[in-house]
Structure 1
C-alpha cells in the first residue's frame, strides 16, 4: 500500500470525471470548438455521486464525491473527447484565443445518474452555434445509456466517462 493510499481513508473517496479515448471523425468543418460549461440539474451538480434507489428516489453514495465540480469536469471531458476525435482546437469557455472559435457547443443535461436497473443514464440536448456563421447551427437531443458494472461509485464514475465519450462521438459526427 502506498503512502498516498494509506492517507486516504474510505471516507475521502473522490472520483474523477474523465475522458475515454475514441475513434477519429473525418470531414469536420470546424477547426476550433468552444465548449460552454455544461448545464446540469441540481442533483447532478452537487459534489456527491447519486444513484437511484428503490421507488425511484435518488440517494447520495456513501462517502463518494466527484473530485471536481461536476459541470466543469463534464465540460473538460467533452472538450478532451472532441479534441481527440476531431483534431480541432477545443477549449472550455472562456475561449483563450484572440480569434473566435468556429463553433460553440452548449450541452444541457436533463438526467445524469446510475439507475437501479444497472444502467447509467445521460440525456439532454446539445446545441452547436456559430458566432461567425461558419457552420449550420442546430439543436439535437441525446439519450445515452451505459452499463454500470456493479452498484459502486467507482462503477458509476466509469459509466459516466463512457457516456461522455459517446456524447463527444455524437457531437463530432453531427458537426
Structure 2
C-alpha cells in the first residue's frame, strides 16, 4: 500500500511539473530597413487592441473547418497586446531613429504622434499563411503632423505547422507593419 501511495504521489508530482512547463514563445521585433525623411521625432505607441482569441496567452491556429484551436501546450511568453506593442515600438525606433515608447508616454513633452493599432485577425491559417490584419491610426495631439487612419492586411508564410513557426510569422508581420507605418508618416 505504501508503494502504491508513493507511486501515486510521484505520478501526481510529475504531472504537475509537466503541466507547468508549457512552451512559451516570444513576440519579437525583427530588424528592418531605415526610413528617410520622417517628420516625427517622437512616437507614442498605444497598447495594441486585439480580438479575444488573440489576446489570450494560448497560441491559436486554424484547424479543419475553419475553427481556431489552441496549439498544444504553447503560450506567448508575454501578454500578447503588450508584446505586440513593444515589438512595434522597437521596429519603429529601429526604422525611424525617433524616440518611441509604449504608453504611457514617459517624457514631459508630449510625443509628436500617437499610433493606435487595432487588429482584426492574427492567426496561422490552415493553408500555411499567417494572417495579420486590421487598421492603424496616427494622431497628433499637438497638430504637428497630418492625422490619418489606414487599413492593413499582411500575410506571411508559416514554414511548418506549430507554434514556433507561428511566432516567427507574427514577428515578420509586425516588422512589415512597422515598415508600413514608418513609410506612411
Taking only aligned residues, the RMSD between alpha carbons, in angstroms, comes to 1.4
Matched, 1:88 2:98: yes
> 2:7 is matched with which residue?
none
Task: Give the Cα–Cα distance (whole angstroms) in 2 for the partners of residues 99 and 10 of structure 1.
Answer: 44
Partner of residue 135 from structure 1, selected from 145, 148, 151: 145
Partner of residue 118 from structure 2, selected from 79, 100, 108: 108
Partner deviation per Cα, 1:96-142 (whole Å, 9 max, x = no partner)? 00000000000000000000000000000000000000000000000
Task: Give the Cα–Cα distance (whole angstroms) in 1 for the partners of residues 95 and 70 of structure 2.
Answer: 33
Is the partner of 2:144 in helix, strand or coil?
A: coil
Any stretches of 5+ residues in structure 1 without a counterpart?
Answer: 1-6
The size of the alignment, in residue pairs, is 169
Contact 1:13–1:65 under 8 Å retained in 2: yes
Structure 2 counterparts to residues 58-69 of structure 1, below 5 A: 58-69=68-79
> 1:159 is matched with which residue?
169
> 2:25 is matched with which residue?
15
Is the partner of 2:70 in helix, strand or coil?
A: strand
More helix by share: 2
Change (3 A) 1:8 1:85: farther
Task: Give the Cα–Cα distance (whole angstroms) in 1 for the partners of residues 18 and 106 of structure 2.
Answer: 35
State the TM-score, normalized to the length of structure 2.
0.89
> 1:72 is matched with which residue?
82
Task: Give the Cα–Cα distance (whole angstroms) in 2 for the partners of residues 10 and 155 of structure 1.
Answer: 22
Structure 2 counterparts to residues 37-56 of structure 1, below 5 A: 37-56=47-66
**Larger Rg, first or second structure (1 or 2):** 2
Task: Give the Cα–Cα distance (whole angstroms) in 1 for the partners of residues 151 and 73 of structure 2.
Answer: 33
Task: Give the Cα–Cα distance (whole angstroms) in 2 for the partners of residues 169 and 56 of structure 1.
Answer: 30
Is the partner of 1:55 in helix, strand or coil?
A: helix
Partner of residue 145 from structure 1, selected from 155, 162, 169: 155
Point out 4+ residue stretches in structure 1 off by more than 6 angstroms.
Answer: 7-10
State the shift of 1:12 in Å.
Answer: 1.8
Contact 1:35–1:105 under 8 Å retained in 2: yes
